[in-house]
Every structure is written in C-alpha cells, then in structure tokens.
C-alpha cells in the first residue's frame, strides 16, 4: 500500500508574526519558514507504517511556490521515498489544495492519505475533510492513535469530551492531532540521501484544477491589544482586586 502525506510550508511556529502595514496580509519576506508541525506528525506516522511493513511507499506532496521543495526535502530526509510538488504561486485555499490532492490521489492510487489536522497559518482545519469528501472516502480526523487492520483503520479521535474510537473503511483520509506521535529529527546522512530522492513537479493546469481563491480576503489586521496589567504583591491584594476592582469573584 502506498501512503500519501501532504506537507505545508508555513511560518515557523516560534515566530512572532507581523501584519503588513497595508493590511493585505502577514509579512513573510525574510521570515523563518518550516514544515507545519501537524504535517511532521503525518510524515512520521507514514514512515512508521513503512517500518512496520504496513506501507510499501511513502509519497510526500506539497503545493505552493518553488520553495516548497525544501519542505518536501525535509519529509524525504525523515524517510519518505519521493516527492510531488504542485507548483503554484499565489494563495492556495483548502478547497483548491483538496482538489490538487484528489488529482494526485487518482494518479498514484494510495491506500491512505495522511494530512495534518490544521495548518498553523490559516488555522482552517478543512483540507483533509474536503479531500475525503471529494474522493467519497471515509475520514478519520484529529487522530490520536491509528491502527491499520485488514482493509480498515481503527482510529482513536480527540473529541470535545475525551476520546472516541471509530473504524473506517480503506481507502481513507486521516488527519493528525498533536499526540499521535513524536516526529523524528532527520539525521545528516539522511539529509544527504534525501537530495538524491526524486521530486516530480506538476502544474495545477496539467491536473485540470482551478486554484483561484474562493474566499476573498478584504483585509488582515492586528488583533485588539490588551491593556497592560499590574503586578500585585500578595494573595490578599489579588483577591481584593478581583472582588472590588474587576468584580469577577
């Protein structure tokens, strides 16, 4: 069984972002970029499947500008076998990415697609569900644990009140939660080896997908700032403030 993982290049999670002065978006020039943390977990899970013999090949997919090659290389260094880059400049929204993924899935015929549950830049939490819908496949979202067994996948999901167990038919789309696994670091020899692994570059047109954004972003602004607070010295002072100044207890 082939496993396809989708990885996104995003601003590194440690970076304090800056909104552009003209309110058209967030400053991305000269900002550290890395693989979306949820996608690292997706790559790790796919590689573990290969190590256990449940998967035969792991393909890393990314869509976006040419620099997404680096993100794919990271996945290859972690252990993925080859990469597919759909090169497109400009904003790609979840529905467009899901359609690109669908086209690649139809070409590659994987048994499982694993994606992160959300990208930490747009915070949409949509692509995996949309891909499952477009393919007519089952979905195991917010996966905490997965177990591939004979034509189906047992998925433990993180839901509001705790955990939920479901069994979904393969082929399927899985989206990863943070606690699914702990991603490995790519070692230097593996980073060197990854440079020799193939990355195929495709264009949205060749896949027959219109990637024009469907949601129009009118403006991006800074959130309202909280007023600076005060430091209190004692518990008694804190309780007094909460009671008499803030009126919350």
Partner 1 sequence: MAILVVAAHDGKTVRANVANAVTAAGQMGSDVTVLVAGSGADEAAKSAAAIQGVAKVLQADDAAYANWLAEDIAPLVVKLAPNYSHVVMAADSVGKNIAPRVAALLDVAQVSEAIQVVSPDTFVRPIYAGNAMATVQTADKVKVVTIRPTNFKAAAAGGSAAIEKIGGEGAKGLSSYVGAELSKSERPELTSAKIVVSGGRGLQSGENFKMLETLADKLGAGLGASRAAVDAGYVPNDYQVGQTGKVVAPDLYIAIGISGAIQHLAGMKDSKTIVAINKDEEAPIFQVADYGLVGDLFQIVPELTAAVEKK
Please choose, out of 8-16, 39-47, 54-62, 201-209, the segment that lies near partner 1 by the rule CB under 8 A.
8-16
Quote the least distance from Cβ 222 to partner 1, whole Å.
7
Neighbours of 93 (CB within 10 A): 18
Which among 52-60, 77-85, 129-137, 193-201 is the span making contact with partner 1, rule CB under 8 A?
129-137
Beta carbon nearer to partner 1, 23 or 56: 23
Out of 106, 167, 192, 205, the only residue in the binding site for partner 1 (CB under 8 A) is 167
Instruction: Give the interface segment with partner 1, choosing from 47-55, 58-66, 67-75, 113-121 (CB under 8 A).
Output: 113-121
Main-chain phi, psi angles of 200, to 5 degrees: -90, 135
The answer to whether 8 and 116 have CB atoms below 8 angstroms apart is yes
- Output the smallest distance, CB 211 to partner 1, in A: 12
Piece of the chain touching partner 1 by CB under 8 A; list 58-66, 75-83, 184-192, 216-224: 216-224
State the DSSP code for 111.
S
Residue corresponding to tokens 């880059």: 85
What does the alpha-carbon distance between residue 135 and residue 131 come to, in Å, rounded to a whole number?
6
Computed on alpha carbons and rounded to an integer, the radius of gyration of the chain in Å comes to 21
Residue 117's Cα: distance from chain center in Å?
A: 6
What is the greatest pairwise CA distance in the chain? 69
Among the listed residues 164, 187, 205, 206, the single contact to partner 1 using CB under 8 A: 164
Is residue 199 a contact residue for partner 1 (CB under 8 A)? Answer: no
Site for partner 1 in 73-112 (CB under 8 A): 93-95, 98
Of residues 31-50, which lie at the interface with partner 1 (CB under 8 A)? none
Minimum CB distance to partner 1 smaller for 29 or for 218: 218
Which residue from 1, 12, 19, 33 is in contact with partner 1, where contact means CB under 8 A? 19
**Least CB distance from residue 198 to partner 1, whole Å?**
30
Distance from C-alpha of 2 to C-alpha of 97, rounded to nearest angstrom: 20
- H or E element that contains 143: strand 138-149
Q: In whole angstroms, how close is the CB of 74 to partner 1 at the nearest point?
A: 21
| The residue to which tokens 């792991």 are assigned | 58
CB of 6: closest distance to partner 1 in angstroms?
14
Residues 172-191 that bind partner 1 (CB under 8 A): 177-179
Q: Which stretch binds partner 1 (CB under 8 A): 14-22, 45-53, 75-83, 191-199?
A: 14-22
| CA distances, 245 to each of 99, 222, 238, 239 (Å) | 54, 28, 10, 10
Q: Report phi then psi at 109, rounded to 5.
A: 55, 55
107, 76, 106: which is closest to 7 by C-alpha?
76
Q: Give yes or no for residue 127 binding partner 1 (CB under 8 A).
A: yes
Other CB atoms within 10 A of residue 42 CB: 31
């Amino acid at each position: 069984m082939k496993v396809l993982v989708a990885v996104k290049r995003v601003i590194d999670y440690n970076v304090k972002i800056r909104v552009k002065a003209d309110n058209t978006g967030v400053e991305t020039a000269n900002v550290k970029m890395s693989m979306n943390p949820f996608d690292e977990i997706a790559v790790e899970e796919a590689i573990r499947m290969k190590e256990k013999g449940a998967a035969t090949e792991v393909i890393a997919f990314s869509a976006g500008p040419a620099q997404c090659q680096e993100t794919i290389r990271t996945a290859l260094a972690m252990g993925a076998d080859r990469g597919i880059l759909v090169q497109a400049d400009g904003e790609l929204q979840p529905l467009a990415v899901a359609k690109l993924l669908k086209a690649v899935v139809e070409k590659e015929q994987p048994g499982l697609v694993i994606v992160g549950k959300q990208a930490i830049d747009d915070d949409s939490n949509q692509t995996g569900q949309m891909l499952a819908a477009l393919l007519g496949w089952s979905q195991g979202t917010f996966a905490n644990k997965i177990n591939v067994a004979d034509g189906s996948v047992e998925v433990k999901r993180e839901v509001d009140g705790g955990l939920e167990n479901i069994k979904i038919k393969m082929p399927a789309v899985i989206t990863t939660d943070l606690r699914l696994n702990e991603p490995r670091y790519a070692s230097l020899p593996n980073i060197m080896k990854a440079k020799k692994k193939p990355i195929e570059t495709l264009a949205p047109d060749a896949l027959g997908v219109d990637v024009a954004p469907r949601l129009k972003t009118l403006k991006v602004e800074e959130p309202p700032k909280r007023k600076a607070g005060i430091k209190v010295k004692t518990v008694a002072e804190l309780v007094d403030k909460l009671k008499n100044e803030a009126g919350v207890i």
